[in-house]
C-alpha cells in the first residue's frame, strides 16, 4: 500500500517560499523601526531649534544677536546659536539668518550647524536716522507709483478728478426726463406700506 507524503522537492520549495516571506517581513519591520526613530530624532531637533529661535527673538539688542548665546535643552544637552542681521529697504524690517549647533548627547560634541533665514520686523534694532531716511524714500516711491500724497492731498496727473455738482445736476435732469410721469407724484409715498410695518433702509 502506497502512503501519501511530501517529496523532498516539495519540502525544499516550501522552505524557500517561507524564507523569502520571512526576509520581506523582516526588512519591512526594520524599515518601520528606522522611520520611527528618524521621525523622533527630527521632532526633537525641531523642538531644540525652535528653542534657539525663541531665544534669538527674545534678544532686544542688535549687538547681542550677532554675539549669540547658549540654550539649555532637555536631557542635560546644550545648544549654541548665532545670528546675522542684514538691513533692508523697508523701515524696521531685517533679514536674519540664525545658525544653531545642538548636542546630540549630554556633554557630547555639537552636531552639524543648521541655518534658517527669515524676515523679522523689529523697531528696536533700527537707528532713528536710518528709519527716517527709509520712510522718506518709501513715501517718495509711493507718490511716484500712486500719484497721491495722503498728508497734503496733492496728486499728479494719474489721479482722476471728481465730477462737479453741475455735471451731476445735468445727469439727474437727463435721467428724470427719460422717466414716465407718475400720476400719484403729488402724494408722498408711505415708507411702511407693503413692508410689514418696517421702514426700509435707504442706502
Q: Is residue 145 part of a domain?
A: no
Q: What is the DSSP letter of 76?
A: G
Rounded distance, CA 32 to CA 26, Å? 10
Q: Is residue 152 part of a domain?
A: no
Q: Give the model's pLDDT for residue 200.
A: 41
Rounded distance, CA 39 to CA 33, Å? 10
Yes or no: say if 105 and 135 are a contact pair by the CB < 8 Å rule.
Answer: no
**Burial degree of 104 (CB within 10 A; 0-12, 13-18, 19+):** middle
Among 86, 89, 85, CA closest to 130: 89
Segments in 70-187 forming alpha helices (H):
128-146, 165-178
Residues of the chain with pLDDT under 50: 1, 157-163, 181, 183, 185-186, 188-203
Reported as a single tens digit per residue, the pLDDT across 6-23 is 788 888 999 999 999 998
Q: Is residue 53 part of a domain?
A: yes
Domain count, the chain: 1
Q: Give the model's pLDDT for residue 106.
A: 85
Does this model's pTM top 0.75? Answer: no
Q: Is residue 84 part of a domain?
A: yes
Long-range contacts of 38-44 (CB under 8 A, 24+ apart): none
Question: Domain of 104?
Answer: 12-123
Q: Is residue 47 part of a domain?
A: yes
Q: Is residue 66 part of a domain?
A: yes
Among 64, 109, 60, CA closest to 82: 64
Q: Give the model's pLDDT for residue 189.
A: 47
Q: Is residue 149 part of a domain?
A: no
Q: Is residue 188 part of a domain?
A: no
Amino acid at each position: 500500500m502506497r502512503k501519501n507524503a511530501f517529496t523532498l522537492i516539495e519540502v525544499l520549495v516550501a522552505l524557500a517560499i517561507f524564507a523569502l516571506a520571512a526576509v520581506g517581513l523582516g526588512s519591512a519591520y526594520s524599515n518601520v523601526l528606522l522611520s520611527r526613530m528618524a521621525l523622533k530624532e527630527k521632532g526633537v531637533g525641531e523642538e531644540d531649534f525652535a528653542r534657539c529661535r525663541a531665544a534669538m527673538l527674545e534678544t532686544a539688542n542688535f549687538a547681542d544677536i550677532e554675539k549669540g548665546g547658549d540654550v539649555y535643552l532637555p536631557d542635560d544637552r546644550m545648544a549654541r546659536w548665532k545670528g546675522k542681521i542684514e538691513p533692508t529697504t523697508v523701515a524696521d524690517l531685517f533679514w536674519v539668518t540664525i545658525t544653531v549647533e545642538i548636542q546630540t548627547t549630554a556633554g557630547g560634541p555639537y552636531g552639524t550647524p543648521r541655518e534658517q533665514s527669515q524676515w523679522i520686523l523689529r523697531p528696536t534694532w533700527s537707528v532713528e536716522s536710518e528709519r527716517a531716511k527709509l520712510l522718506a524714500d518709501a513715501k517718495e516711491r509711493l507718490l511716484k507709483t500712486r500719484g497721491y500724497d495722503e498728508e497734503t492731498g496733492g496728486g499728479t496727473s494719474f489721479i482722476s478728478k471728481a465730477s462737479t455738482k453741475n455735471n451731476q445736476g445735468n445727469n439727474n435732469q437727463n435721467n428724470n426726463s427719460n422717466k414716465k410721469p407718475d400720476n400719484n407724484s403729488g402724494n408722498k409715498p408711505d415708507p411702511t406700506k407693503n413692508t410689514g410695518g418696517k421702514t426700509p433702509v435707504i442706502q
